Amino acid sequence: MELKVNTTAEQFKIIENKKDEPKYKEVSAFVGGMVECVQFPNGDVLLLNEEGKLIGLPLNPEATALWRATFDNDNYVTGRKDFVVGPAILIKKDALKHWA
């Protein structure tokens, strides 16, 4: 499987304030489909397209770097081998309201 690489920074957003937390419809429009929610060990939440890999969305280097820095091979099934594709939103733990 050949991966395309997304090089536009606007494809990865970080939400740090509760007032900026997006609703489901906004996230769905941003990621381009159904939303997958992944909770990180520190309480942050990553929102991405649930079918992104299946539909061939491009690699998201920023979100993938965050994923690989967080999930190691010793404690997680896919660990650093996995990657994130398509647009993604990281909501910091202190900014969570609706997604928690």
pLDDT at 1 over 50: no
What share of the chain in percent tops pLDDT 70?
86
Contact 92, 84 (CB under 8 A): no
The pTM of the whole model exceeds 0.75: yes
Q: What is the pLDDT of residue 100?
A: 66
Could you tell me the pLDDT band of residue 58, with boundaries at 50, 70 and 90?
very high
Nearest of 52, 47, 46, 37 to residue 69 by alpha carbon: 46
Q: What is the pLDDT of residue 45?
A: 96
